[in-house]
Structure 1
């Protein structure tokens, strides 16, 4: 009884609320209530070969497997959560969603034997302005589940690129071509890598970075995005 009273008193002054809807009806170790978790549009692509994410890269880059955890939709919960991660400094939700992604990968036979996670890098000035790379935060959550290291210093973005949002496919590729460079080839040589970012649309940025990684001897590559905005 005393423990129950103490919990209620703490909750009164320091409420634990859902980051999706603001409800206080959620578990202590969760950032989203059950209703919001249920509202997240999972793809289940991790379980299926030749899924829509893999088809994006057919003929463009050789991949072992690819996955996006959720479907992206404007004005939907997933967009609001990604916005919190990228622009509101909410790294906690990024780790949480990364852990959910990690569980999907863990339950799939298609993402076994991964050696390391590679967050898709931001241009240094952009990362300094934001304070962190959202892809690294997502990787931290995935790493918590898969227990594999995050290598966030082996590849760098060497060219500033304009936002991809309003560009068509060809413009997106031209915008990111030759943007990446491997800084530590020995750290990834012969390894099975998982390249991670928040959203995949045309795949141009993943392709540019992935092809750079695949120039290193005996690298195998898979791709994971938190959300799929491909049309």
Structure 2
């Protein structure tokens, strides 16, 4: 009874459109240097995370079109969008020779309380579709979050790092030992959460960490 709406502009989608209308799709700020070794994620995480490859679909700016997309994904129950973006990025990764080079795809986990509030992890579909494209294993039970940290939006980098430090751990660490891991997340601003995940994965013996995100802040 209700038409599906574009995640960016909330206009009704046409029959052949999925999650994002054709106009907005053409307006999305795609990350220009997709596989550049000088990726912004490398810059954000420099000196804190030993990172192999990093990829992002979009640039993020406040009050921009991607802010609407991320808000729709996280707070409006648009799980379909997560799968759509994962399929999109997964195809780009295959075209760039990533197929069969990743062993395990892990999503940045939500705390159980937040998961119950939201009903889903906003990067679940994103990670599952990427894993499918790369012939990798998707696993959302290994990397765990110890506590439900408050919103990170208004904290600076140091404060965010203190909040999330040691809030992640790995169950069954032997499963990830010497594996090539792809960690997926929605939006990266300071990188504090990814750093904390990296420390947990490092303790588990992961020696080849890659990161894929929906968007990265300019």
Q: Normalising by structure 1, what TM-score?
A: 0.85
1:23, distance to aligned residue in structure 2 (A)? 4.4
Unmatched 5+ stretches in structure 2: none
Distance of 1:180 and 1:220 partners within structure 2: 18
Distance of 2:86 and 2:2 partners within structure 1: 25
Unmatched 5+ stretches in structure 1: 1-12
| Secondary structure at the counterpart of residue 123 of structure 2 | helix
Could you tell me whether the CA contact under 8 Å between 2:167 and 2:196 is conserved in 1?
yes
Matches for 1:1-231 after TM superposition, within 5 Å = 18-21=6-9, 22-25=11-14, 27=16, 30-109=18-97, 113-230=101-218
Distance of 1:186 and 1:122 partners within structure 2: 22
177-186 or 138-147, which deviates more: 138-147
Q: Tell which has more relative contact order, 1 or 2 (C-alpha 8 A, sep 6+).
A: 2
Write 1 or 2 for the structure with the bigger share of helix.
Answer: 1
Distance of 1:25 and 1:107 partners within structure 2: 28
Distance of 1:192 and 1:175 partners within structure 2: 27
1:16, distance to aligned residue in structure 2 (A)? 5.9
Q: Normalising by structure 2, what TM-score?
A: 0.90
Number of positions where the alignment pairs a residue of Structure 1 with one of Structure 2: 217
User: Cα RMSD (Å) of the superposition?
Assistant: 2.1
Sort the Cα spacing of 1:31 and 1:144 in 2 relative to 1 into closer, same or farther, 3 A: farther
Distance of 2:84 and 2:169 partners within structure 1: 29
